[in-house]
Structure formats: C-alpha cells, structure tokens
Amino acid sequence: MGSQVEPQSSRTARKPGGPQKAPLSVIAARLVQEALKEDASITELAKLATGDAAFAMRVLSIANSAAYGPSRDVRDMRTACVLLGVRGLRNVALGIMVSDMVPVHPDATVLFANSLRRAVVASLLAEKVRGVPKDEAFTVGLFLEVGLLSLAREDLPRAAEIARMPAAHRPLVERAFGLLEHARQGAAIATTMRLPPMVIEAIEGHHAAEKPAAPLASIAWAAERVAAAWEGGDVARVLEEAQKAAIAVGYPEAEVADLLAKIPELVTAVAVTFQRNVDEQLDLDRLADNARAQLVELNHGYEQIVRRLETLLAEKAQLADQLAHANEELAKLAATDALTRLPNRRAFDEALVRDLARNDRGVAGFSVILIDIDHFKRVNDAHGHPAGDAVLVSVADALRRTLRAGDIAARYGGEEFAVIAAGCALDGGRAAAERIRAEIERSVTVCPAGMLKVTASLGVAEMRDSDRPRGEDLVKRADRALYAAKAA
C-alpha cells in the first residue's frame, strides 16, 4: 500500500493565495488505530510501517531523535520497530500525524514551534519523573496545542494570531473570538482518536490553575508553563513560573537552569526530524533582550482583543434587544386571538386577576360583561364557517368602537366575548353593555354569502367593594346574567 504523505519537495510548496494543507498520513493513522488494539502485534505493525519507504524514513528520523527517547543510531526499520515496541511505534505515528496537521506556510512555523517546545520540555521533564516514559511525555506535549493546529487548517491567520499571544492568555483570547478553548478541542480530538484516558486528561488539564495529581497530566501542566517562557509576556515573571513548575513536578532545582538552556537547540533539532522548519529559537539571554519588542507586539495584540471584545459586547447588546423584542412579540402572539386580533381568554383572565388585585388596594371597582352572539350556529350552518368567521371579526370591531380607554375586550371562546369595564359599578356596566349590544345590532357583516346582521345577548356582573370574589366567581355571575338575558 502506498503512503498518502507527499514527498518533501511537495511538502514545502505553497498553493497560490494561501496556506497548503499537508495531507494527513494514512499509514500513521492506521498505525495508531492498530497499536491501540489489545492484541496489537509488533510484527504486524512493523509490516505496516515498512510498507512505504518515505514513511519508514520519517519513522527512523523521529525514533533516533534524542528528545524522543534514549539516544539511538538505528538504521534498520525492523530493528527500530522492535526497539520502539507497540507503544513507541504508536507515539511516533501520533507525532507524524500532529506534524502533518500544520499547514505549509510561514505563518504556521510559530504553531509548530510551540507544539515542539512543549513536546521537548515534556520529554526532558520525564527523565526525572518516575512512571512517565519519555516517548509518552513527548507525544502528550506535542498534542497540547493540537486544538490550535486543528483551527489552523481552517483559519491559519486566526490560529497564528492566538499562537503569538502569551501562552497563559490564549484561552481568554480564544473565548474572546468565540472559539472553543484549544485544551478542550485537543481533548476532543484525542477522544475521537480513542487515545488512552490518561492522555486525554493531560491534554484537557494543561492550563489548569493547580498541578494535576496524575503523573502524565502533571508533566503536561509543567511543560505548558516552561514552554511559555519563550512565548511572550513578562519574561522575568514567566521564567520564574517556569522554574517553579519544573520543580513542582520533581525536576531537581539545581538542574533547572540546564533544562531551560537545552530547549531552544532541541526544538530546532527535532523540527528537522519532522522535516519541518521553525523560526530561530532564542536562548534565555536573548529572550530578555527581546522583551521590549515582545511587549510592543503584546500591546498591539491586546488592542485587537479589546476591539474584538467591544464588538462582541455591542453584538451581545444588539442580540439582547432583538431577543427582548422577539419575546415581546411572542408574548403578544400568545395573548392574542388569531382571528379577531383581540386579546384571548388567557389574556382576559390575567387582566381580571390584575384588576381584582387593584381593587383590593382601593382602586375603583369594575364590571365584567359577557357577550354571546345569538344563534351563531345557524350562521355557520346556513352560510358556512367563512361567514361565521366574518361575523366574529365584525363583532370584535364593534367592541373596539364602543370601548373606552382602560376597558378590555377579549374573545372568550367560540362565539363568546368578554369585557372588563373599568371604573363601572353595576349601572355603569349595564349602560356599557347596552352600547355594545346596540353597536353589534347596527353592524353589517359583508361576507361571500352577502350581508349579514346578528344580535347578541349580554350579562353583567359588578365587582363590589363589600365582597372579594375570585375572578372565576365574577365570570360565573356574569354568565348567569347572560343566560337570564337569553331566556328573557
């Protein structure tokens, strides 16, 4: 089977107009999946790895890297596979997959350098921490920025912009841009690849405020802080945090300075083994000299973040206004009868409860008027439901014409309507009811069946100060009065 990894000459080419995505190695992906199986055989894995000469050369180059494992000079692929073992071969394949995620473009060098730096630091820390194999630490370190590498394949300028920010601030920057934090994105990618839980935990927690308890996760946590010393911010402060983090995971305090001194050269060397380039890696002395330029770049970056946050806040305020308006419209729709455009029964009931409460506070009383269209069923039976609907609309219009300010009219259900006549005792309510009855009787409904006229019966109930009925009791009294009117 041929490999999908292109030759080195094509890997360094660029498509006009933008970054070129390096194809992800199919053999590396297959190796990872096969190596994760419980019955994985080094013989079968070696056969798969040696099936493509270009891929085999990449494996040998990485396996011989001093940052990856014990110093070796293995030139035979089968021997390398035996020395690496199942886990080691899986980790080499994972490293190749991560490197292939980096777009081929000058802006991508900062992303790959950041990833390699964490891998190198993790492998160096693992030399002094029991229970964490060096190759496992290297692979986890390489995966810490895989969330950003994933973004880079879709939006390289944005990913590179984030990668140039101080390491500790990147999660905040990602949130400001509305992105999933790279630690969570990386953990999701590792989960999709079915990597071991301890690897996923290490990736997800490398920005945690406190050092994790698990050895591999603590290595990832410390690698993040040590690597951050090369990535902007207050150089003196981040160096101090780097030293504290290394010591916290068990690295001898007396050797921390030597650890920091090794990192730039190793990052450059390991980049060569992955057949990729990185920018010049500064030593600690030159980092301090470069602090002023970093501060200028940092301030520029923060200006962009502030502008972005201002835009987000403005968009949030606009969305809040739109949501409030939409909620108002929904509330109106929920309280409005679709046919007559009058308030519906739910809105009437709420208004009745409100007016009862106002009456309890000494506000002037009111009357409830129920209206029922006489012989409405005959209209539907004789002229059809469209004519019946037209009559209902006509009655609603008659109610609007007779209402005073403060009165509420609603479609109560079917051919029934209800009115709250504000500030009316029983006599005032009866007078209002008579105006409504007369207006309905005068009204003419124009419909496909011709011109129709209807009458209505009404019942009135007064809210008296001497009693405190519930809303439903008041409606029942009005309903009894309505049926008395119909029977008259």
Residues taking part in catalysis: 415
Based on its alpha-carbon atoms, the radius of gyration of the chain, rounded to whole angstroms, reads 39
Provide the token pair at 54.
């270009």
d(CA 394, CA 219): 79
Q: Are 67 and 266 in contact (CB under 8 A)?
A: yes
d(CA 150, CA 189): 9
Provide the token pair at 385.
């439901």
Residues 6 or more apart from 411 whose CB is under 8 A from it? 337, 339, 340, 342, 343, 344, 345, 392, 396, 417
Torsion angle of the four alpha carbons 402, 405, 406, 409, in this order, in degrees rounded to the nearest 10: 30
DSSP for 113-133 reads: HHHHHHHHHHHHHHTTSTT--
329 phi and psi angles, rounded to 5 deg: -65, -40
Q: Are 133 and 287 in contact (CB under 8 A)?
A: no
d(CA 439, CA 476): 25
Give the count of alpha carbons within 13 A of 255, CB side only.
10
d(CA 88, CA 108): 27
Q: Are 400 and 387 in contact (CB under 8 A)?
A: no
Q: What is the identity of the amino acid at 293?
A: A
Strand partners, 369: 419, 460
Please give the angle made by the CA atoms of 309, 310 and 316, to the nearest 5 degrees. 85
Q: Are 105 and 124 in contact (CB under 8 A)?
A: no
Strand partners, 446: 451
d(CA 174, CA 176): 5
d(CA 65, CA 269): 8
Provide the token pair at 161.
């912009």
Residues 6 or more apart from 39 whose CB is under 8 A from it? none
Q: Are 452 and 440 in contact (CB under 8 A)?
A: no
Positive/negative CA dihedral, 407, 410, 412, 417: positive
d(CA 330, CA 326): 6
